[in-house]
Amino acid sequence: GQQLNQSPQSMFIQEGEDVSMNCTSSSIFNTWLWYKQDPGEGPVLLIALYKAGELTSNGRLTAQFGITRKDSFLNISASIPSDVGIYFCAGQLQGGSEKLVFGKGTKLTVNP
Amino acid sequence: GAGVSQTPSNKVTEKGKYVELRCDPISGHTALYWYRQSLGQGPEFLIYFQGTGAADDSGLPNDRFFAVRPEGSVSTLKIQRTERGDSAVYLCASSLNGQTGLFFGEGSRLTVL
């Protein structure tokens, strides 16, 4: 099936540091989304991207839809302890149904 | 409520039993999705409804899994003859029309003993 390669798998950072994670694929996507999941909770939508090249911010979070439509990145600036969690990229494939394909996640740990 | 509601939050059953998981989407959302998430993995697509019909059921692993959405709102995921490998968190999500971001419920954790 279609695969999203999400990296890094995990990150350990100090409070205040910036964070960057990304997703790549060999397939073309129409939509990229970034989610955060806390233990025992469902994923929560952070940012949605709908156009190639689009750069969108949500507070300290910034995400971009790659020009090739095969990749996306998420940046978190000035991390705080509550940023801890698992971040997932997800995308809707070009020519596919409206289902989302998810990456395997990036586990973020922030040390105070 | 304002969000996606899933019941039960936890279900423990024995191998071979039948299980139903319910999802109540955000009011007005026409698209409804079921995903399955195993420990340490991302959500895995099962089935997607647009209104009452299953628009894409390509993720259902086998014929023991079935889902319905008879009135275009609440959906039920049905699992027959459960197996230990079915143990996972089953997530439901809804979207305004399938073209915008999905909003997830908190999931139903299924444990098959």
pLDDT tens digit sequence for B14-42: 999 999 999 999 999 999 999 999 998 99
Interface contact B27, partner A, CB < 8 A: no
Tokens of B68: 């319905």
* pLDDT beyond 80 at B50: yes
Q: Which of A33, A103, A105 sits opposite B101 (nearest CB)?
A: A33
Place of tokens 């003993």: B113
Residue B101: per-residue pLDDT: 82
**Residues of chain B contacting residue A100, judged by C-beta atoms under 8 Å apart:** 33, 43, 45, 102
Poorest-confidence range of A2-11, A19-28, B36-45, B53-62?
A: A2-11
Instruction: State residue B84 phi and psi, 5-degree precision.
Output: -60, -35
Is the predicted pLDDT of residue A97 greater than 80, yes or no?
no
Query: In chain B, what residues touch A48 (CB-CB under 8 Å)?
Result: 100-101
Task: Answer yes or no: do A33 and B95 touch at CB < 8 A.
Answer: no
- Dist. CA B86–CA B33, nearest whole Å: 18
Distance CA A82, CA A104 (A): 21
* Portion 48-107 of A in contact with B at CB < 8 A: 48, 88, 90, 97-105
Arithmetic mean of pLDDT, A46-55: 94
Tell me how far apart the alpha carbons of residues B28 and B97 are, in angstroms, rounded to a whole number.
9
Span B63-111, pLDDT tens digits: 999 999 999 999 999 999 999 999 999 999 999 876 678 899 999 999 9
Task: Tell me the pLDDT of chain A averaged across its residues.
Answer: 93
Which element (helix H / strand E) includes A22?
strand A19-24
CA distance B72 to chain A (A): 17
CA atoms within 13 A on the CB side of A71: 11
* Cis bond before residue B8 (omega within 30° of 0): yes
Q: Express as a percent the part of chain A with pLDDT over 70.
A: 98
The pLDDT assigned to A44 comes to 95
Residues B32 and B55: their CA atoms lie apart, in Å, by 10
Mean pLDDT for the stretch of residues A21-34: 94
Percent of chain A with pLDDT over 90: 86
Q: What is the pLDDT of residue A2?
A: 56
